[in-house]
Chains A and B, each alone.
Chain A
């Protein structure tokens, strides 16, 4: 019973946080661009509108099951990330998982998406998927290297143990291992599909992208999982670098400050081409990561 309630609470919290954060982002970007922007609830309204559409076009069974796989992947990811530390609540199944598993679960979504898009038979959609997978190849290397620095620092892959090791603000990995944070920050933005590393999603200037064929309720499911996934990733970074949180309010505050940082970076830079993104990740964050490895692992004064 506790497990079911806990799981429902995690899913609900990540959904609510998801649409509020995205609503805020739309307001924030509008104000930066001197527009009024939509209300903070707009993402919720949009999502409900999609989910309640009366008609949905499908291109075959795999086209339908793809979004289901993505949503199941997102829920699984949320349930394997511990939201709070030193608490019985909002833990999900995180004790049966670890950091490397979570990093791989983050990828289930893109792959399920890839299957559905391929099944739609739209070559522009497949092009978008290939771009997404290419970007994944670029971002994953520095992202994982940064996380590996943290795993090495604490000699564990357990998110719980890493959280527990950061007692006070001075022990936050953000301060004890700043190189790792700098290494993962930009790939983290890319993994959120945020500017400047985004892949063109739906009808924009080029009528192409992974979402091009989806509409109605299927698009609603995709939007829901996207918002939940964003929160899962934010909470993961809060757990790993900002000491986790002991209650929901601290969690929201920490996740929000991190979101504000990434949103500010996103708004300041225009979109890069996919291959530029990959090249950038393999030069700057990965180069920094290599320096980090040399400084902390190879030399005796490090860990």
Chain B
């Protein structure tokens, strides 16, 4: 019985792929009052559907392991349904319904984790509800301007109205992607969610906010440039959005470095990486959007890979803090390679595709003449090297720091299969960035009415500013590596393995098993000696959040003050007022 349910569940997890492959014409469903719901797959939603189609089965596979969990499977299926609804929706009603199904089903899934506490769960649902209400306000505002719910450009709207709409929708989507200072739910939720489900939250659900942000400029006749005019070579409204994204990623990167828990580090890194996407969307040119989409694709793959791998490590060792692991490289070699590929992608190093995404975004920033943003983004992307190193050093290198880490074995196959597949995909995309551009990115850009980036060959990434060839790069690096290794063995002499792990140059001392040799969580602590980093890390957004709470309490107190204790009086007053108004209207000959 449970096997059948599990197979069924796996089949359900393939539903986004099925939708992507067999979706035909648009479906319209007339609702009351002449409004109809339309569902269609356009290139933009197709891109995000592709991410969902890739990620959903890979997350479902490790979820299947172990005891049969009917409710979790059901909620996951509901979540997938909601996200597909959201992506297919051609109007805001379907979009909002999908958004709500996604929010609630993921909330209930989050609650199923034994680690989730009241604070984390409440902040998740409160922030997501705030996002949903902003979205609802935006949708109603949109309807009042157009009289229609379809997602398309506003025909006539004043500049102030456009700005208000942009702020409402932008606020909703920025909460969803965890922009500072509205990010506080992200680390809590990713930390407390069931380990494999964190992968889904980070890799796929954050992309729904990105989907919204990509759609946002299409609502306005001249895109972002129509809102506040242009600055240098890009839209001024986008400049603000881009700075929001960059500041988010800088602060989140330093926060990530100072984390002592693996999943929290990944959560902050997720905020930072999505911040780059926000920045690129702010630039708004075809290069930048290409970079944003590429980054979205790479981030999805990398975060799936890393979260699933770390879920495997937590499953095998029961440890989640950097201090309590170490030297897993011999015991979990596949996990080691997975994390290695993952951090190379995360750091945006060539030859993996993270570099292609970074390249497009950097060139787009130069093209827009926004060099200060470029410098700020570079700060966050080089500081990311430090947390990337922490991610691989603390669990895999150094010395094993707990009994569990000394006895761990490789994770079971439902964890390994997604890891291997994702590693393969990342390497392929790294060698053939042009292929990704042609197949995945360009259709979206054309769908948005922008210039396609194009690629002269599958291996080449080409822009007006020059490009690079992934095939040449990978083959040069690969042959150099093989030649150097080969030559090394041709040289005279022999290699000897150190006698024990304590056979170290240790300042003239001989370390023992009691000597604290693992540098796990301490790494990056010394960064606080840099004034700017200390300044960033010593500030939190709790005061901002507390202020927000105070203001909303005060506002509701003000509203509450209008009501008296005896509601009868108010009802009487309201009835009287209604009667007077009716009478007046009758007298005036209306109705």
Taking beta carbons and an 8 Å cutoff, which residues of A are in contact with B? 51-62, 64-65, 68-69, 71-73, 75-76, 79-80, 93, 96-101, 104-105, 107-108, 111, 114-115, 118-124, 126-127, 129-130, 133-134, 136-138, 140-142, 144-145, 148-149, 151-152, 155-158, 161, 203, 207-208, 212-213, 216-217, 221, 274-275, 278-279, 282, 286, 289-290, 293, 297-298
B326-368 at interface with A (beta carbon < 8 Å): 327, 329-330, 340, 347-350, 355, 358-359, 362-363, 366
Of A73, A115, A216, chain B has the most CB atoms within 10 Å of the CB of A115
Q: In the bound complex, how far is the Cα of B454 from the Cα of A228, in angstroms?
A: 36
Which of B27-35, B128-136, B212-220, B497-505 has 4 or more CB atoms under 8 Å from chain A? B497-505
Say whether B468 contacts A75, CB under 8 Å.
Answer: no
Pick from A58, A134, A141: contact of B378, CB below 8 A.
A141
* Residues of chain A within 8 A of B523, CB atoms compared: 126, 130
Taking beta carbons and an 8 Å cutoff, which residues of B are in contact with A? 232, 327, 329-330, 340, 347-350, 355, 358-359, 362-363, 366, 369, 371-372, 374-375, 378-379, 382-383, 385-386, 389, 392-393, 396-399, 460, 463, 465-469, 472-473, 476-477, 480-481, 484-485, 488, 491-498, 501, 503-508, 516-519, 523-524, 526-527, 529-532
Q: Distance in Å from the Cβ of B188 to the closest Cβ of chain A?
A: 27
Show 30 residue pairs from A and B whose CB-CB distance is below 8 angstroms, ordered by the A residue.
Answer: A54-B493, A54-B494, A55-B494, A57-B496, A57-B497, A58-B497, A65-B485, A68-B481, A71-B484, A76-B473, A76-B480, A79-B476, A96-B472, A97-B469, A101-B350, A104-B355, A111-B347, A118-B389, A118-B392, A119-B397, A141-B379, A144-B375, A145-B375, A156-B465, A156-B466, A207-B507, A207-B508, A217-B493, A275-B526, A297-B371
Say whether A126 contacts B519, CB under 8 Å.
Answer: yes
Q: Distance in Å from the Cβ of B385 to the closest Cβ of chain A?
A: 5
* Residues of chain A within 8 A of B372, CB atoms compared: 290, 293
Known interface pairs A121-B327, A130-B523, A137-B386. Does A282 touch B491 (Cβ–Cβ under 8 Å)? no
Q: In the bound complex, how far is the Cα of B491 from the Cα of A56, in angstroms?
A: 12
Known interface pairs A96-B469, A141-B375, A275-B530. Does A121 touch B501 (Cβ–Cβ under 8 Å)? yes
Say whether B382 contacts A137, CB under 8 Å.
Answer: yes
Known interface pairs A118-B397, A207-B505. Does A140 touch B232 (Cβ–Cβ under 8 Å)? no
Pick from B378, B465, B480: contact of A144, CB below 8 A.
B378
* Residues of chain A within 8 A of B481, CB atoms compared: 68-69, 72
Q: In the bound complex, how far is the Cα of B524 from the Cα of A54, in angstroms?
A: 38
Say whether A133 contacts B385, CB under 8 Å.
Answer: yes
Q: Distance in Å from the Cβ of B479 to the closest Cβ of chain A?
A: 9
Q: Distance in Å from the Cβ of B18 to the closest Cβ of chain A?
A: 39
Chain B: CB-nearest residue to A293 = B371
Task: Give the 7 A-B CB pairs with smallest separation, nearest first.
Answer: A118-B397, A96-B469, A72-B481, A158-B466, A275-B529, A72-B480, A96-B472
Chain B: CB-nearest residue to A131 = B526
Pick from B366, B379, B498: contact of A152, CB below 8 A.
B366
Say whether B466 contacts A213, CB under 8 Å.
Answer: no
* Residues of chain B within 8 A of A62, CB atoms compared: 329, 397
* Residues of chain B within 8 A of A97, CB atoms compared: 468-469, 472-473
Known interface pairs A76-B473, A121-B327, A126-B519. Does A98 touch B466 (Cβ–Cβ under 8 Å)? yes
* Residues of chain A within 8 A of B488, CB atoms compared: 68, 217, 221
* Residues of chain A within 8 A of B327, CB atoms compared: 121
Chain B: CB-nearest residue to A212 = B505
Pick from B369, B375, B392, B468: contact of A286, CB below 8 A.
B375
Say whether B530 contacts A72, CB under 8 Å.
Answer: no
Say whether B371 contacts A60, CB under 8 Å.
Answer: no
Chain B: CB-nearest residue to A286 = B375
Q: Distance in Å from the Cβ of A245 to the closest Cβ of chain B?
A: 21
Q: In the bound complex, how far is the Cα of B517 from the Cα of A209, in angstroms?
A: 15
Say whether A122 contacts B504, CB under 8 Å.
Answer: yes
Known interface pairs A57-B498, A98-B466. Does A107 touch B392 (Cβ–Cβ under 8 Å)? no
Q: Distance in Å from the Cβ of A53 to the closest Cβ of chain B?
A: 6
Say whether B398 contacts A148, CB under 8 Å.
Answer: no
Q: In the bound complex, how far is the Cα of B481 from the Cα of A59, in angstroms?
A: 20
Q: In the bound complex, how far is the Cα of B498 from the Cα of A221, in angstroms?
A: 19
Say whether B491 contacts A289, CB under 8 Å.
Answer: no
Q: In the bound complex, how far is the Cα of B516 from the Cα of A99, in angstroms?
A: 43
Q: Distance in Å from the Cβ of B359 to the closest Cβ of chain A?
A: 6
Pick from B463, B477, B495, B505: contact of A122, CB below 8 A.
B505
* Residues of chain B within 8 A of A212, CB atoms compared: 505
Say whether B468 contacts A98, CB under 8 Å.
Answer: yes
Pick from B349, B396, B473, B508: contact of A96, CB below 8 A.
B473
Pick from B363, B398, B491, B529: contact of A157, CB below 8 A.
B363
Say whether B379 contacts A137, CB under 8 Å.
Answer: yes
Known: A59-B498, A111-B385, A121-B517. 4 other contacts (CB 8 A): A72-B480, A104-B349, A130-B386, A140-B382
Say whether A221 contacts B504, CB under 8 Å.
Answer: no
Q: Distance in Å from the Cβ of B483 to the closest Cβ of chain A?
A: 8
Q: In the bound complex, how far is the Cα of B363 from the Cα of A137, in angstroms?
A: 20
Pick from A57, A124, A286: contact of B506, CB below 8 A.
A124
Q: Distance in Å from the Cβ of A132 to the closest Cβ of chain B?
A: 10
Chain A: CB-nearest residue to B505 = A212
Pick from B350, B385, B526: contact of A137, CB below 8 A.
B385
Q: In the bound complex, how far is the Cα of B359 from the Cα of A158, in angstroms?
A: 13
Pick from B385, B460, B517: contact of A107, CB below 8 A.
B385
Pick from B396, B491, B495: contact of A58, CB below 8 A.
B495
Say whether B389 contacts A111, CB under 8 Å.
Answer: yes
Q: Distance in Å from the Cβ of A13 to the closest Cβ of chain B?
A: 16
Say whether A155 contacts B465, CB under 8 Å.
Answer: yes
Say whether B468 contacts A96, CB under 8 Å.
Answer: yes
Say whether B494 contacts A148, CB under 8 Å.
Answer: no
Say whether B397 contacts A130, CB under 8 Å.
Answer: no
Chain B: CB-nearest residue to A73 = B477
Q: In the bound complex, how far is the Cα of B480 from the Cα of A279, in angstroms?
A: 37
Pick from B476, B485, B494, B504: contact of A121, CB below 8 A.
B504
Q: In the bound complex, how far is the Cα of B493 from the Cα of A51, in angstroms?
A: 9
Q: Distance in Å from the Cβ of A224 to the closest Cβ of chain B?
A: 9
Say whether A152 contacts B369, CB under 8 Å.
Answer: yes
Q: In the bound complex, how far is the Cα of B399 from the Cα of A126, in angstroms?
A: 12
Chain B: CB-nearest residue to A143 = B378
Pick from A54, A65, A130: contact of B492, CB below 8 A.
A54
Q: In the bound complex, how far is the Cα of B375 from the Cα of A149, in angstroms?
A: 11
Q: In the bound complex, how far is the Cα of B505 from the Cα of A100, in angstroms?
A: 38
* Residues of chain B within 8 A of A290, CB atoms compared: 372, 375
Say whether B504 contacts A120, CB under 8 Å.
Answer: yes
Q: In the bound complex, how far is the Cα of B375 from the Cα of A144, in angstroms?
A: 7
* Residues of chain B within 8 A of A221, CB atoms compared: 484, 488
* Residues of chain B within 8 A of A118, CB atoms compared: 389, 392-393, 396-398
Q: In the bound complex, how far is the Cα of B358 from the Cα of A165, in angstroms?
A: 26
* Residues of chain B within 8 A of A80, CB atoms compared: 473, 476
Q: Distance in Å from the Cβ of A63 to the closest Cβ of chain B?
A: 9
Q: In the bound complex, how far is the Cα of B348 from the Cα of A140, in angstroms?
A: 14
